[in-house]
A = this chain, B = another copy of it.
Amino acid sequence: MLINELSKRTGVPIPTLRYYENYGLFKGMTDGKIKTNNYKDYDESIVEKIEMIKGAKEAGFTLSEIKNLIDSWFNKRLSKEKKITVVYSKITEIDNKIRQLNKVRKLLSECIVDIEKGNC
């Protein structure tokens, strides 16, 4: 599919997709032998990749962290153990973030009680 469809499928604006591609998060194919243009073609797997990127971003990861994750994910030369280490460390980060969010959530709940009591 072309970038327009990719944008519609994922809900990510075209300039952002180009920015991501340029950043190295994924890569469209240009087949110089077949096509007269240099339009890039994106396949289904890239839609999935972008969904992953969106999820990770909403979860608060930076593009650079996401790039590291994707790189180790798809790097064939990396050993199983290395890959697993990278992914586990992200899982640990996620657990920390969830813990942090629950802490703030608790603070806010307590605040509701205070407001209802008329304090603060």
Residue of B nearest to A96 (CB): B58
Most buried by B among A56, A103, A107, A115: A115
Q: Which residues of B sit under 8 angstroms from A105, Cβ to Cβ?
A: 91, 94-95, 98
Q: Which residues of B sit under 8 angstroms from A108, Cβ to Cβ?
A: 87, 90-91, 94
Contact of A59 among B94, B97, B111 (CB under 8 A): B97
A interface SS class = helix
Q: Do the beta carbons of A80 and B116 come within 8 Å of each other?
A: yes
Interface residues of A in 92-110 (CB under 8 A from B): 94-95, 97-98, 100-105, 107-109
Q: Do the beta carbons of A97 and B52 come within 8 Å of each other?
A: no
Tell me how far the C-beta of A27 lies from the nearest C-beta in chain B, rounded to whole angstroms: 17
Q: Do the beta carbons of B107 and A55 come within 8 Å of each other?
A: yes
Contact of A103 among B55, B84, B87 (CB under 8 A): B55
| Interface set of A (CB-CB < 8 Å, partner B) | 52, 55-56, 58-60, 73-74, 80, 83-84, 87-88, 90-91, 94-95, 97-98, 100-105, 107-109, 111-112, 115-116, 118, 120
